[in-house]
A and B are shown apart, each in its own frame.
Chain A
């Protein structure tokens, strides 16, 4: 597609359940980022993938959070045993390796943990 897509757009889940959030980056973009944004707050870095390199997981808030990127394209962010404080918008962004250097953001997944 022309831009970064994310699914689902909205997710309501019960506390303790696992959720999977999907990101399809722009075709050919080698870098992929996940961020979390709580209501009225800035972006909190979660994890970064660059090509075949080991991901930078330094932003993951706990071991309940994990992410994979298969085939250098689609990425899945998994939150296990969700807690109410996990409620936020989860944004994915991709960037090409070359010039320009800007990140292109997807529309986000709005997660609500009841």
Chain B
């Protein structure tokens, strides 16, 4: 089996930086994804890491350490619209298998 762990809830202030961590234990690791999901809506793709290191995309960055089974999503210059759940997902083997964590609900306060 596999475990994907992330904090249940986080709160941050508008304009600040927040880091959402994800740890995983799995065999056949073949990539880690971050998705954003606003309440009542479908998840939307944010980022993808398959090699170690940092991937930057505007205000959002994602980091991966395969040896540690660890990833984080970094959100800078937080805006109120960033209030959402952030889902960490691990893909295994030859792209056939993708499993999601329970998600981190982020609340951005003024």
Contact = CB atoms under 8 A, between A and B. Distances in A.
Interface of A: 31, 33, 35, 40-45, 48, 50, 56, 91, 95, 101-108
A43 B44 contact: no
Given A42-B87, A42-B103, 11 more contacts: A31-B95, A35-B100, A42-B100, A43-B89, A56-B96, A101-B31, A101-B95, A102-B33, A103-B98, A105-B44, A108-B42
Contacts of B56: none
B6 to A, nearest CB: 9
Contacts of A95: 95
B42 A105 contact: yes
Contacts of A91: 42-43
B87 A43 contact: yes
Contacts of B7: none
Residue among A31, A33, A102 with most chain B CB within 10 A:
A102
Nearest to A43: B100
A88 B97 CA distance: 22
12 contacts: A40-B105, A41-B103, A42-B100, A43-B43, A44-B100, A45-B99, A48-B98, A95-B95, A101-B91, A101-B95, A106-B42, A107-B42
